[in-house]
């Protein structure tokens, strides 16, 4: 439209030669798209549409039309009519007596005694108006509509337009005359296509209302009323109609509590039958003092972009490259056995990935990694290649830095509101180069497949993706990215919106898409990398210290010891620590009767408050060594994520604990200790994935079972084998620490925190039973061990004593040589 307007507005200037004017016209004509326009086959519509923009006497209308790329005639006419009406409303609200900027509707109540308009505009004859059709051209006895049935009262003998019941009903009906108010018309062309939603908390439930300035009352459906807890309904005297004139059935009205900007309002809401979107009317808009201009200018562009963001993206500007070491040796593994229950899901997932271009079937390859099927919460199967056994150990480390939280947040200056974008399956949106595709091959029950996109499980994937996402947002201020999480802000909403549009445009140029269900737009605060970010700065996410804050009071000496062990670890952060611990330490003395006094309770609550308030949860810094300390008791698990500083001190990043389920309490102690490691790994996966970290435990046997540099012992219990395989996806070392020095994790495991299954999603972590090559390496069969045992004299006696009772002493002949 802009190019067309420029062409038709290009008049010959005074003194300009014809040849020069012709060249200027031809240049402008080249951009008008006369042959590719949507209207190129309808020249009359095209001419009429162009004339609306060229001949309009309103600059606002012309600006609105010129913002369209190539609208059809119908869209152009709608925009013109809407712009004309909005300009009229602006003039109305500019009147001197206008006292309310947000008065966007007027309510009229026409009473019965008001004069009714004539039904006919023609001159009356001598006849009395016909009581059947209202005409005064004939008598009722000669009216052709005498046998017609009224559409309103369903009685015969008259038409609906003169039905007395209808007119009496209308005389007492409230009618709404809509008047719109906007500060400018910059975005009026978008109002036709997109609705504007306003999230509000009603009776402690989140409801997304559609902004409707043509409705005086706020309206919800009966289904949403049930969601609000079915508050008491009172009869309503209102009558509602839609634009077509059809009546809307009203269930009633009720008062609800609305929370907005830290204030509570008791407001009236109308409930209607049937299914419909909640509508936010003028009465609530005025009481809540909503900024209509801000809502329209921010939310409409967001909805516009969200509608385009559902499919998996494909980054075509940059390709990922996997560089191997010079001495790398190809490794080929057979496909692992797949549980029968998973086979159908695995085949469907492979076919889906092939159709999406993620996987490609090949006939032969020197590289092949087995797959690990994982059952997702929705019941579908996700396949992952176990690249730890093939290329991970032979990849050159990518040195691209992953930014720390302090580095990222330092770029967000004076932000008022925040938008968080989450890319969907981020790694799979990145194309691999041809050389790298030959390295990421998986061996499946259906044969060999290579990845065309960068798969999960590649050790260099985080650094590669961070380099790409840094290119995406390069030069865009007030935007940061940590892997697939992008955070955007601005000193005001206009700047915020500009930044958001720039980031979304850049993502689109690269070919990335994001997951709209996980995105947050224009929020007062957001959770980002373990911190709550708002306009005042950052603070630890309360969920990270929840395990400490909700510690129950100890019930015995063992629990007192556990609690003291926990707070001793962070005692240097608490002033007068010894004095505050004194009542609790008294209970730890020998021969002291257990009595939980008021002083003990006061001391416990004081220490609990101090440790939750003063424990320094440091920022996660990728330049510092990362430590995961875990421990298990008979009824709970504990985990602490820490940093080690140059002076040797360790400071916590986050705490977590979990009460064991009844089945888990039946585990052996080594299995409980191993479960605490798995719990900590899963709880802090966001911090540990792609990082090298140190695993600390006070259970020595786990050092050999979970040692990442040694193979899994073939005699290990099945459950421990599965967990050892799961840990192969992480890069860690393991260290033993005596229990007396392990108080930080030990205390969280011994204090009974209420069970919360959100820490571990068991369905999402199921893995394949065991690697095929391990099965083939069993040294002996059970039958061979049983036969050798029966042939050994000493072992026969050991078996006999085990089944009966062991004697108090042995003969010398029984002792093994």
SS (H, E, C) 57-90: CCHHHHHHHHCCCCCCHHHHHHHHHHHHHHHHHH
pLDDT exceeds 50 at position 442: yes
Pick 315-538's CATH classification: 3.50.50.60, 3.40.50.300, 3.30.499.10, 3.10.10.10. 3.10.10.10
Instruction: Tell me how far apart the alpha carbons of residues 328 and 717 are, in angstroms, rounded to a whole number.
Output: 33
Q: What pLDDT score does 459 carry?
A: 82
What is the number of other CB atoms lying within 10 angstroms of the CB of residue 714?
13
Mean pLDDT over residues 444-468, rounded? 89
Q: What pLDDT score does 575 carry?
A: 53
Q: For the segment 711-754, what is each residue's pLDDT rounded down to a tens digit?
A: 666 556 677 878 887 888 788 999 888 766 655 555 555 545 44
Q: What pLDDT score does 522 carry?
A: 85
Q: What pLDDT score does 175 carry?
A: 38
DSSP 648: S
DSSP 410: T
CB-facing half-sphere around the CA of 311: CA atoms within 13 A: 8
Q: State the burial class of residue 356 (Cβ atoms within 10 Å of its Cβ: 0-12, 13-18, 19+).
A: middle
Note the residue count of the chain: 817
- Give the Cα-Cα-Cα angle 467, 470, 475 (nearest 5 degrees): 145
Q: For the segment 68-94, what is each residue's pLDDT rounded down to a tens digit?
A: 767 777 777 777 777 776 666 566 554
| H or E element that contains 632 | strand 626-632
Mean pLDDT over residues 243-259, rounded? 80
Q: What pLDDT score does 383 carry?
A: 85
DSSP 407: H
| H or E element that contains 372 | strand 369-375
Q: 240 or 231, which is more confident?
A: 231
Strand order in the sheet with 531-534: 525-528, 531-534, 537-540
Using alpha carbons, list the distances in angstroms from residue 567 to 268, 564, 572, 626, 744: 51, 5, 9, 21, 8
Q: Indicate the pLDDT class of residue 468, thresholds 50, 70 and 90.
A: very high
Q: Which residues contact 362 (CB under 8 A, 6 or more apart)?
A: 441, 448, 449, 450
pLDDT exceeds 50 at position 525: yes
* Cβ atoms of 675 and 722 closer than 8 Å: no
Q: Indicate the pLDDT class of residue 700, thresholds 50, 70 and 90.
A: confident
| Residue among 502, 516, 595 nearest 555 (CA) | 595
* Residue extent(s) of CATH 3.30.420.10 domains in the chain: 547-760
pLDDT winner (highest mean) among 39-43, 194-198, 209-213, 577-581: 209-213
Tell me the β-bridge partners of 279. Answer: 210, 219
Q: Which residues contact 112 (CB under 8 A, 6 or more apart)?
A: 168, 171, 172
Q: What pLDDT score does 584 carry?
A: 87
Mean pLDDT over residues 221-249, rounded? 79
Beta strand 250-260 pairing with 263-272: antiparallel
Instruction: Tell me how far apart the alpha carbons of residues 457 and 815 are, in angstroms, rounded to a whole number.
Output: 52
94 φ, ψ to 5°? -85, 0
pLDDT exceeds 50 at position 764: no
How far from the centroid of its chain's Cα atoms is residue 51's Cα? 46
Instruction: Tell me how far apart the alpha carbons of residues 342 and 375 are, in angstroms, rounded to a whole number.
Output: 8
Q: What pLDDT score does 531 carry?
A: 72
* Residue extent(s) of CATH 3.10.10.10 domains in the chain: 315-538
Using alpha carbons, list the distances in angstroms from residue 433 to 316, 439, 440, 511: 11, 11, 11, 16
| Residue among 763, 757, 706, 762 nearest 729 (CA) | 706
* Cβ atoms of 744 and 566 closer than 8 Å: yes
Instruction: Tell me how far apart the alpha carbons of residues 516 and 37 are, in angstroms, rounded to a whole number.
Output: 32
Q: Indicate the pLDDT class of residue 22, thresholds 50, 70 and 90.
A: low
Instruction: Tell me how far apart the alpha carbons of residues 659 and 757 are, in angstroms, rounded to a whole number.
Output: 9
> pLDDT > 70: what percent of the chain?
68
Q: State the burial class of residue 247 (Cβ atoms within 10 Å of its Cβ: 0-12, 13-18, 19+).
A: exposed
Topology adopted by domain 188-306? Cathepsin D, subunit A; domain 1 (2.40.70)
Q: What pLDDT score does 96 carry?
A: 47
* Cβ atoms of 293 and 183 closer than 8 Å: yes
What is the number of other CB atoms lying within 10 angstroms of the CB of residue 515?
15
Q: What pLDDT score does 720 carry?
A: 82
pLDDT exceeds 80 at position 331: yes
Q: Indicate the pLDDT class of residue 678, thresholds 50, 70 and 90.
A: very high
Mean pLDDT over residues 576-582, rounded? 71
* Residue extent(s) of CATH 2.40.70.10 domains in the chain: 188-306
Q: For the segment 630-676, what is each residue's pLDDT rounded down to a tens digit?
A: 988 887 888 888 888 888 888 877 777 777 888 888 888 888 999 99
Q: 716 or 141, which is more confident?
A: 141
Q: 9 or 321, which is more confident?
A: 321
Q: Which residues contact 182 (CB under 8 A, 6 or more apart)?
A: 86, 89, 90, 188, 292, 293, 296
Q: Which residues contact 262 (CB under 8 A, 6 or more apart)?
A: none
* Cβ atoms of 633 and 750 closer than 8 Å: yes
Q: What pLDDT score does 677 carry?
A: 92
Instruction: Tell me how far apart the alpha carbons of residues 481 and 422 are, in angstroms, rounded to a whole number.
Output: 10
Q: For the segment 549-572, what is each residue's pLDDT rounded down to a tens digit?
A: 677 888 888 888 878 776 765 554
Instruction: Tell me how far apart the alpha carbons of residues 335 and 447 are, in angstroms, rounded to a whole number.
Output: 8
What is the number of other CB atoms lying within 10 angstroms of the CB of residue 181?
20
* Cβ atoms of 156 and 265 closer than 8 Å: no
Instruction: Tell me how far apart the alpha carbons of residues 489 and 441 are, in angstroms, rounded to a whole number.
Output: 41
Q: Indicate the pLDDT class of residue 191, thresholds 50, 70 and 90.
A: very low
What's domain 547-760's superfamily in CATH? Ribonuclease H-like superfamily/Ribonuclease H (3.30.420.10)
Instruction: Tell me how far apart the alpha carbons of residues 785 and 792 are, in angstroms, rounded to a whole number.
Output: 11
Give the lowest-confidence range in 2-6, 333-337, 369-373.
Answer: 2-6
Q: What pLDDT score does 42 carry?
A: 61
Q: 403 or 618, which is more confident?
A: 403
* Cβ atoms of 353 and 442 closer than 8 Å: no
Q: What pLDDT score does 158 carry?
A: 79
Using alpha carbons, list the distances in angstroms from residue 628 to 304, 458, 647, 676, 781: 43, 22, 19, 11, 38
Give the lowest-confidence range in 451-455, 587-591, 764-768.
Answer: 764-768
Q: What pLDDT score does 189 carry?
A: 39
């Amino acid at each position: 439209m802009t190019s067309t307007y420029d062409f038709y507005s290009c008049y010959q200037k005074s003194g300009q030669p014809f040849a020069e004017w012709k060249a200027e016209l031809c240049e402008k004509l080249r951009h008008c798209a006369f042959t590719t326009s949507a209207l190129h086959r309808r020249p009359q519509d095209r001419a009429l549409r162009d004339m609306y923009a060229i001949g309009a006497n309103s600059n606002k209308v012309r600006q609105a039309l010129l913002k369209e790329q190539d609208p059809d005639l119908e869209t152009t006419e709608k925009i013109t009519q809407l712009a004309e009406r909005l300009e009229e409303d602006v003039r109305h609200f500019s009147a001197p007596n206008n006292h309310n900027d947000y008065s966007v509707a007027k309510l009229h109540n026409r009473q019965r005694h008001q004069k009714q308009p004539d039904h006919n505009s023609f001159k009356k004859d001598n006849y009395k108006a016909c009581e059947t059709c209202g005409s005064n051209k004939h008598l009722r006895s000669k009216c052709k509509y005498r046998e017609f049935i009224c559409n309103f009262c369903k009685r015969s003998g008259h038409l609906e337009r003169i039905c007395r019941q209808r007119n009496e009903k209308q005389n007492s009906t409230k009618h709404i005359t809509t008047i719109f108010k906007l500060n400018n018309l910059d975005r009026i062309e978008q109002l036709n296509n997109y609705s504007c939603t306003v999230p509000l908390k009603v009776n402690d439930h989140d409801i997304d209302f559609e902004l409707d300035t043509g409705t005086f009352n706020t309206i919800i459906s009966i289904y949403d009323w049930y969601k609000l807890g079915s508050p008491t309904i009172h009869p309503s005297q209102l009558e509602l109609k839609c634009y077509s004139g059809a009546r809307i059935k009203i269930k009633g009205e009720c008062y609800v509590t609305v929370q907005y900007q830290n204030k509570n309002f008791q407001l009236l809401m109308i409930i209607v039958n049937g299914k419909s979107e909640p509508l936010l009317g003028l009465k609530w808009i005025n009481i809540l003092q909503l900024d209509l201009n801000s809502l329209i200018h921010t939310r409409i562009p967001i909805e516009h972009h969200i509608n385009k963001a559902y499919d998996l993206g494909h980054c075509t500007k940059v390709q990922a490259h996997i560089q191997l070491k010079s001495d790398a040796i190809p490794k080929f593994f057979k496909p692992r056995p797949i549980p029968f229950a998973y086979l159908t899901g695995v085949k469907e997932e492979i076919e889906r990935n092939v159709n999406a271009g993620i996987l490609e079937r090949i006939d032969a390859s020197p590289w092949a990694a087995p797959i690990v099927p994982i059952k997702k919460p929705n019941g579908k199967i996700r396949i992952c290649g176990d690249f730890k056994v093939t290329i991970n150990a032979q990849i050159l480390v990518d040195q691209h830095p992953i930014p720390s939280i302090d580095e990222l947040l330092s770029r967000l200056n004076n932000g008022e509101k925040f938008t968080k974008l989450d890319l969907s399956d981020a790694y799979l949106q990145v194309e691999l180069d041809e050389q790298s595709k030959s390295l990421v091959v998986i061996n499946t029950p259906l044969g060999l497949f290579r990845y065309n996109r960068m798969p999960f499980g590649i050790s260099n994937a985080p650094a590669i993706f961070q380099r790409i996402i840094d290119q995406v947002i390069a030069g865009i201020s007030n935007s940061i990215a940590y892997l697939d999480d992008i955070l955007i802000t601005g000193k005001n909403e206009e700047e915020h919106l500009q930044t958001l549009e720039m980031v979304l445009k850049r993502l689109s140029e690269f070919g990335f898409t994001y997951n709209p269900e996980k995105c947050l737009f224009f929020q007062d605060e957001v959770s980002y990398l373990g911190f709550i970010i708002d306009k005042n700065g950052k603070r630890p996410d309360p969920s990270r210290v929840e395990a400490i804050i909700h510690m129950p009071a100890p019930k015995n000496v063992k629990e007192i010891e556990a609690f003291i062990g926990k707070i001793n670890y962070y005692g240097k952060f608490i002033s007068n620590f010894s004095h505050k611990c004194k009542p609790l330490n008294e209970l730890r003395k020998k021969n002291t009767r257990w009595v939980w006094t008021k002083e003990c309770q006061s001391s416990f609550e004081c220490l609990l408050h101090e440790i939750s308030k003063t424990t320094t949860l440091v920022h996660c810094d990728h330049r510092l060594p990362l430590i995961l300390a875990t421990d298990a008791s008979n009824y709970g698990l504990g985990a602490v994520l820490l940093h080690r500083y140059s002076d040797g001190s360790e400071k916590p990043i986050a705490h977590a604990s979990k009460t064991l389920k009844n089945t888990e309490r039946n585990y052996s102690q080594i299995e409980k200790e191993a479960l605490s490691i798995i719990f900590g790994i899963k709880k802090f996966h966001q911090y540990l994935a792609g990082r090298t970290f140190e695993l600390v435990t006070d259970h020595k046997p786990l050092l050999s079972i979970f040692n990442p540099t040694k193979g899994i012992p073939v005699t290990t219990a099945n459950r421990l084998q599965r967990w050892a395989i799961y840990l192969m996806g992480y890069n860690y070392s393991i260290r033993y620490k005596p229990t007396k020095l392990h108080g930080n994790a030990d205390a969280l495991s011994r204090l009974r925190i209420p069970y919360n299954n959100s820490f571990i999603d068991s369905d999402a972590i199921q893995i394949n039973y065991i690697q095929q090559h391990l099965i083939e390496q069993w040294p002996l069969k059970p039958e061979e061990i049983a036969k050798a045992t029966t042939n050994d004299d000493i072992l026969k006696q050991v078996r006999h004593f085990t089944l009966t009772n062991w004697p108090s002493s042995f003969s010398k002949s029984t002792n093994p040589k």
